[in-house]
Amino acid sequence: MCGIVGVINETHPDAMRTMLARTSHRGEDCQRFREFDRFGSLGINRLSIIDLDRGDQPIFNEDGSVAVVCNGEIYNHQAIRSDLEKDHDFATRSDAEVIVHLYEEYGDDAVKFLDGMFAFILFDLRRGRVLVARDPLGIKPLYYRADDETAYVASEPKALVGLGSEGVRELPPGCCWTRESGVVSYFEPGLATSNPDPELCRSLLTYAVRKRMMSDVGVGTFLSGGLDSSLVTALAARENPDITAYTVGMEGAPDVEMARKVAEHLGIRHVVRTFTVDDMLALLPEAIYHIESYNPSLVTGAVVTLMASRLAAEHGARVVLCGEGADELFGGYSAIRSLSFLELRRKLQELLRNLHQTELRRLDRMSMAATLEARVPFLDRDFVEYAFNLPSSTKIREVDGRRVEKWHLRKAFEGLLPDELIWREKCPFDQGSGGRSMIPIIEDAIDDATYERRCEEYAPWSIRSKEMLHYFEIWRSHFDDLLEPGKTFDMFGDYPVLMDQIADRGERARAESPTGPESTTGSTTEGTTAGSEGR
């Protein structure tokens, strides 16, 4: 896990140093770059997870003619290695090394063999070729910006500020890029209706969690108290009963109380840190810098996720398992709960297609801001193909007069956790943690005349609320160079499907506040408990 950067078509040491400095938070174990004359440069900020001693990058093939820098984890690297080692000499135990040897055997099709989350830049020095690729769902990010014949590539847009004359572009999920062919899609998800099978659902998710326990360092979980993170935590605890779960939220917030019950039920170590509105407001500019977005749904969630990431990192975790992806697969959002079944499938497809711009962006940026690797079992490729293709009638079902989201997932895991949790109605992450409590304070600080004037001034950037205006002005202070009418909103401000809910977030936040006005000030507290002691 790391941050990768590259310059294609020329060596540019000053640009490499700049890009590495701006993404140094993504990996603090090793920072270096290599120049390849008349070809380009590859660089990395490494967070060591697999083969701590020998896995530094760039990684080369046997004769040094193929080099790669890779961000992510290849979960099937051992299986690939067992086939390739008959004809190739491996110099490390790093999962990334399989990429160079696969490329020697299969060329650009090498990417099709990889099961995991990844973004990589590969130089074929003998043939004068470049291959840039990204995992099928876009769990790991990759951006580029060009200037005449030179291209700058990096894990985060902030690394590209001031470099290149064209706008920043994102390599789409499931795509690779070469100089010969440009951007080409290599992955198309299967579209065949799955037969609902609770046992298969359990088996696929259990195996997805087991895969993601692969690590040479400590693995923990984020436990928000919602269904998705609780299921992942419960399955991870079966693999490792000594696992630690991490929770942040306002004292008295519904998710915090439920997370405590889950940890006690599982008998695992549980670290809880509570925060106040003042804590959130203080962290807001930094969160916006790291999330690289001014979308309100992303920003409030980002502040809470950054707190959780730092909590886990402070307690020695280097990897955490998380529950992202289940809402997009099983229809967890209230905004789509009342759709017809055919409409539901289309909306879920749109949410899943754009997940790299929404919740995966939040999770990647905030975890990596704390130099922490986040893994997402629900987005295992086999589980995604099964879950997405389930009949819509099994995802949202009428039960006792209300439409229950994620019905099949809940039914499949009955008995693993208490019914109180399994059948609990979904509460949005930033609501259940108390994160929305800062919205009224932000909106009350902007008068109507100022808001109307700024909305007109910022018309190309689609400001929808006072809250969004505040976030945009902070975003702009960091990324003014990336302002591009007609493009900025799509890349940094949009949340596809759910944008209609942005305008009335302030009004809803006032009504939903879980803790009351007394929580607007106060100090942060922390507690560590073991579930067995909690009994």
For 407, the token pair is 């019905």
Judge residue 496's burial from the number of C-beta atoms within 10 Å of its C-beta, 0-12 exposed, 13-18 middle, 19 or more buried. middle
* DSSP category for residue 490: I
Catalytic residue among 2, 70, 175, 201: 2
Catalytic residue at 2? yes
d(CA 182, CA 482): 23
Could you give the 3-state DSSP secondary structure of residue 210?
helix
Spatial CA neighbour of 140 closest among 70, 42, 57, 72: 72
Complete DSSP assignment for 322-364: --TTHHHHHT--GGGTTS-HHHHHHHHHHHHHTGGGTHHHHHH
d(CA 148, CA 524): 50
For 94, the token pair is 């790093």
* Number of CB atoms found within 10 A of residue 528's CB: 12
Rounded to the nearest 5°, which phi and psi values hold at 386? -70, -50
End-to-end alpha-carbon separation of the chain, Å? 37
Beta strands in 28-128 (DSSP E): 30-36, 40-46, 59-60, 66-74, 116-124
Kind and range of the H or E element at 509?
A: helix 505-512
Q: Where are the alpha helices (DSSP H) in 13-138?
A: 13-22, 77-84, 97-106
Catalytic positions: 2
